[in-house]
Chains A and B, each alone.
Chain A
Amino acid sequence: MATHTIEVTVNGEKHQATVESRLLLVHLLREQLRLTGTHIGCDTTHCGACTILLDGQPVKSCTVLAVQADGRQLTTVEGLEKDGKLHPIQQGFWDKHGLQCGYCTPGMMMTSYALLARNKKPTELEIREAISGNLCRCTGYVNIVKAIQSAAEHLP
C-alpha cells in the first residue's frame, strides 16, 4: 500500500503525517492526531457524527481520504473553544439541553457552525434542513433547534 506524506492544519496547528492512500480522514484525526471528539456512527455518510470543516465547508470525514486534506485547513470540535471561552454554539447546546449521550454532538455543532457562518439568522426550517444530515437518536431535535437559535442570538 502506497504511503504519502501530507500536511494538514487542524484548528490552526500544522501537522505532518505519513498516511496510506486509503486512510480515511476521520481515522487520521482520531487515531494519529488523537483528536477523538470527531466520532464515527456509520460508514455510509448518513449519520454525520464525523462532520468537520474542511476549508470552512462541513464534510463528513468518514468519506474523505486523508490525502485529500493535504495542504488544507481543518476545524474540529476541539477548535471551537477559544482562549478558555466556549463558542456560542457550545454554550447554546449546554444551555438549551441540546445533547444527551453526546455522541452526535460534535458533528451536530460543526454543521451548526457552518450554517451560522453563512446564515446568521436562520429560520427553524432552515436549521432543520441544515442539520438533516446529522442524526441524533436521543433528543428528538427539539432542543438542538433551540440550541442553534440561542447560538445565533449570541454570535459576536
Chain B
Amino acid sequence: MEPKTTAEVSGMGHSMKRKEDPRFIRGKGNYVDDIQLPGMLYMDIVRSPFAHAKIKSINTEKALKIPGVLAVITGETLAKYNLHWMPTLMSDTQMVLPTEKVVYQSQEVAAVIATSRYGAADGVEAVEVDYEPLPVVVDPFKALAPGAPVVRTDKKGKTDNHIFHWEVGDRAATDKAFAEADVVVKQDMHIPRIHVASIETCGCIADFDRVNGKLTVYMTTQAPHAIRTVFALVAGHVGLSEERIRIVSPDLGGGFGGKVPVYPGYVIAVAASVVIGKPVKWIEDRMENLQADSFARDYHIHCELAAKKDGTMLALRSKTLADHGSADAAANPSKYPAGLFSICTGSYDFKHAFAEVDGAYTNKPPGGVAYRCSFRVTEAVHMIERVTDRLAQELKMDPAELRLKNFIPKDKFPYQSALGWEYDSGDYARALKLAMERIDYPALRKEQAEKRARGELMGIGISSFTEIVGAGPSKHFDILGIKMFDSAEIRIHPTGKAIARFGTKSQGQGHETTYAQIVAEELGIPASAVQIEEGDTDTALYGLGTYASRSTPTAGAAGAVAARKIREKAKKIAAHLLEVSPDDLVWETGKFSVKGAPQRSKTIQEIAFAAYTNHPQGMEAGLEAVCYYDPPNLTFPFGSYICVVDIDRGTGQVKIRRFIAVDDCGNIINPMIVDGQIHGGLTMGMAPSLLEEISYDENGNVQGGSFMDYLVPTAMETPAWETDKTVTPSPHHPFGAKGVGESATVGAPPAIVNAVVDALSHLGVTHVEIPMTPERVWRILKEKGVAE
C-alpha cells in the first residue's frame, strides 16, 4: 500500500525512524532500576530451597544485627494486615509470603529491607529458616492421580489438585464425524514450560508518602491501570485508595507477557514502604526471574483429526492437561481459563470440533502467562499445524497440497469457526503460495529427494497459522471484571502540535512512533510533532495495557477514532473561518478546502490556532478528544511460514538453513517496525523449538533456572530470517490493521518441528517433541540406525 501522506507527515505506511531511539542509543533510557529516590531503601528476598515444605520457624535475629539491615518481613508480618495472600488474575489465590508452607522452589519466604543493595543481600544470607520437607508432585498426571500430595491444602475441603475443566464445541457431533471418517490420526504432544526472559528482569520502587497518603509505584508492568485497581482492591482495607495510588511504568526492557502479573515482590515492597515510610526498591536477579516469575505454556495435549481419504478434514478433537503450578495465575480474560485455545481449528474449514482442557496444581511456580502470544494461541497453533502434517504423512500427501485443499476459502469470510469465533478476514492460499514461490518449494523437494538418496537429512516444514488477537470485545473479555477496551486522548495545541496519551504501554513495540503515525495519518500533523505518552496512571487514560497483540487493534483504533472526532470539530471551525457550511468542505490530508474552490482552505494548524483564538460563538474552545474503543470483534492475523532444516547425523544438531515468513497483519502502520517485530517473534518461536525449556526433577528442583542452562538464542543460532507479506485488511478495524507482535512466535514452532519430522519421515518418525535439542534428535537417529 502506497502511503497517502508525505514523508514529512509520515502517516501510515512510512518506515519512519523511531522517535524513542535517540534516548536509548545514548544510554538515556529510564528503566526502573535507573531511578534513585532520596532515602531509598533496598529489598532482597529469601527464597525456598524446597518445592514443598512446612515452615517450622524463621529466625531473623542474625540478619537484623547486620549493619544497614532495618527489617525482615515475613508472612506473619503481612498476616497482621491480611496481606499475606493475594488474588491472581484468574481469581485464584497466591501467597505473598507464607505463614505455613511453601509450594514451589524459589518461593518467596521473607524479605530483607536494608539501606543498600549489598546489605539486603547480606541480610538474606543471614535469615535462618527451618523447613520440614513434604512430599512433592511435579507431574500433572500424577498430581491428578488418587493419593497425590495435595498442593493447595489452604483451600478448605480441597482433597485433590484439580483446578478446572473447560470445554468447547459439540462433543456428540464431533464424535459422530470421527466414527464415520475414513482416516483418523492421533498425536500426543507436550508444549513445555518456558520463560519470557526479557533482558530486563522485574522490579519496582514503592514510594509511600506518609504526609499525603499517596503511594507511587514505579514498576515493570505492561498494564499499569489494571495494576492500580488491583492494588486498590487488595489493599483498600489498609487505607490505600485508588485516587492516591499512582503506577508509573517507565521504559521497559521487554515484557512479552511476563510483566502482566502482580508478583509477590511488588506487594512486599509496597507493604514495606507503607510501614517504613520510605521508598523501597526491589529488583529481582535473573535466577529469581527464571525460577519464580510466571512461566508460559506447559500444556500436555492429545489431539485427533478425522478426514476423508482424499484429505478433506472433517473434525478435530483434543484433550489437554494444563500444568499451572501452585496457583492458577494465568493472565487470561476471566471467562477463558484456557485462553483462546479454541482457535485450534486454525486456518482450516472444519465442520466439527471439540476441545477440552483440565488444569492441575503441581509444586512448581504459578503462572500460565503468554510468551509473546495471545492467550494460549501458540499451543493451539502448534497442535493443529502438527496434526495437519501428521495427516499429510498418513495419506502420503504433500503438506502444502493438504493445506491448500482445506483452507477456509477467502470468499467465506467473515467465517464462523466450529468453536465459535468469527474470523474477520483472510486469504490463506495467497500467503502460502507466496511463501512457496519465495523459497522455490518444488526445487527444495527435488533437492531433498537427492539428498535423501545420499543419506543426508534435510527437511521442509510448513506452518499456515491463524491468530486471534486484540481483545475485547468487552461483552466477552475482561480481566478481573475490568472490560478489555482501550483508550486514547489527543490534544492539539494552539500551534498545531499535539500530545496523545494511551492506556497501553510499550515494552519495545515502538508506540511513540506508530501511535504518532496514526495521528499523523488522520490529522495531517507530522508524526514528529505528536508527542506520545503512556504508562503513568496519573496522566494517561484508563486502559488494559499491552499484551496479546492488542495495542494496535484497541488503543491504536482509539487513537484513530479520537483523531476523527477532532477532525469533525475542526471541520466546524474551518467552516466558520471560511464562512461556508461544513457540508461544503472536503478533507484531504492536513486541510479542509471548499468544494470546487480548492484554493480556499484551512490547514489543521490554522484550525488549531483558531480553536484557541477565534473559535465560533457557542462552541467550546480547544481541540481535543477522547475515545474508549471497544472493538466489535477480535482480529485474525495469519501467515504461512516455510522452514528448511539440515540435521547433523553426528551430533543431532538441527540447523535452520532458510526460513521464509509471509505474514498478513492487515494494513501496516510502519513496515520497518513490523519487519522488526517479525524477526523478533521468529526468534522467540525458534527458541522453545530448539533450545529453551524449564523442567524440574522429581523433587521439584528447577533445571534451567539461570542463563547457564536456560538457552536464550544468540546471534549464532539465529538464522537470517526472510520476510514477505500479503495485506488483507481487517474489515472492522478503523484503519484495517490486525496486530503483529506475536504472529511469528505463534507460527514458527510448528514450521520448525514439521521440518525436522519431514527430514526424518522416511525413517518412520511421525513426531518430535520440543525443544528439539541435539541430544533428543541424536537419540532418534541412534534408534533409527542413522546416527554417525
Check: B164 CB closer than 8 A to any chain A CB: no
Nearest-neighbour CB distance to chain B for A8, whole angstroms, equals: 17
Contacts of B286 in A (CB 8 A): 41-44, 47
Check: B453 CB closer than 8 A to any chain A CB: no
Q: Are B27 and A137 interface neighbours, CB within 8 A?
A: no
Nearest-neighbour CB distance to chain B for A60, whole angstroms, equals: 12
Complex formed: what's the CA distance from A38 to B33 in Å?
Answer: 11
Contact of B508 among A46, A94, A102, A133 (CB under 8 A): A102
Q: Are B36 and A142 interface neighbours, CB within 8 A?
A: no
Q: Which of B194-202, B422-430, B623-631 contacts A (4 or more CB under 8 A)?
A: B194-202
Nearest-neighbour CB distance to chain A for B722, whole angstroms, equals: 9
Check: A113 CB closer than 8 A to any chain B CB: no
Check: B117 CB closer than 8 A to any chain A CB: yes
Check: A81 CB closer than 8 A to any chain B CB: yes
Contacts of A30 in B (CB 8 A): 33-34
Q: Are B253 and A143 interface neighbours, CB within 8 A?
A: no
Complex formed: what's the CA distance from A39 to B592 in Å?
Answer: 49
Q: Are B707 and A44 interface neighbours, CB within 8 A?
A: yes
Q: Are B707 and A124 interface neighbours, CB within 8 A?
A: no
Check: A95 CB closer than 8 A to any chain B CB: yes
Complex formed: what's the CA distance from A78 to B721 in Å?
Answer: 32
Q: Are B251 and A102 interface neighbours, CB within 8 A?
A: yes
Check: A99 CB closer than 8 A to any chain B CB: yes
Complex formed: what's the CA distance from A141 to B509 in Å?
Answer: 15
Q: Are B24 and A40 interface neighbours, CB within 8 A?
A: no
> When A100-B676, A101-B507, A102-B253 are in contact, do A94 and B25 touch as well, CB less than 8 Å?
yes
Contacts of A80 in B (CB 8 A): 26
Contacts of B196 in A (CB 8 A): 137
Q: Which of B47-55, B78-86, B679-687 contacts A (4 or more CB under 8 A)?
A: B679-687
> When A20-B118, A102-B20 are in contact, do A138 and B680 touch as well, CB less than 8 Å?
yes
> When A22-B118, A43-B285, A139-B679 are in contact, do A101 and B715 touch as well, CB less than 8 Å?
no
Complex formed: what's the CA distance from A90 to B23 in Å?
Answer: 11
Main secondary structure of the interface of A (DSSP, over half): loop
Complex formed: what's the CA distance from A80 to B165 in Å?
Answer: 57
Q: Are A104 and B199 interface neighbours, CB within 8 A?
A: yes
Complex formed: what's the CA distance from A140 to B676 in Å?
Answer: 8
Complex formed: what's the CA distance from A80 to B26 in Å?
Answer: 8
Q: Are B715 and A128 interface neighbours, CB within 8 A?
A: yes
Complex formed: what's the CA distance from A94 to B20 in Å?
Answer: 10
Q: Are B199 and A142 interface neighbours, CB within 8 A?
A: no
Check: B525 CB closer than 8 A to any chain A CB: no
Q: Are B676 and A97 interface neighbours, CB within 8 A?
A: yes
Check: B673 CB closer than 8 A to any chain A CB: yes
Contacts of B708 in A (CB 8 A): 44, 46
Contact of A101 among B508, B683, B721 (CB under 8 A): B508
Check: A74 CB closer than 8 A to any chain B CB: no
24 examples of A-B residue contacts, CB within 8 angstroms:
A23-B118, A27-B117, A31-B36, A31-B117, A37-B26, A39-B33, A41-B199, A41-B201, A49-B199, A94-B21, A97-B17, A100-B677, A101-B254, A102-B21, A102-B24, A103-B199, A103-B254, A105-B24, A132-B715, A137-B197, A137-B198, A138-B676, A141-B714, A142-B721
Q: Which residues of B contact A (CB under 8 A)?
A: 17-18, 20-29, 31, 33-34, 36, 117-118, 196-201, 251-254, 256, 285-287, 507-510, 672-673, 675-677, 679-684, 706-708, 712, 714-716, 718, 720-721
Q: Which residues of A contact B (CB under 8 A)?
A: 20, 22-23, 27, 30-31, 34-44, 46-47, 49, 76-78, 80-81, 86, 90, 93-95, 97, 99-106, 109, 124, 127-129, 131-145
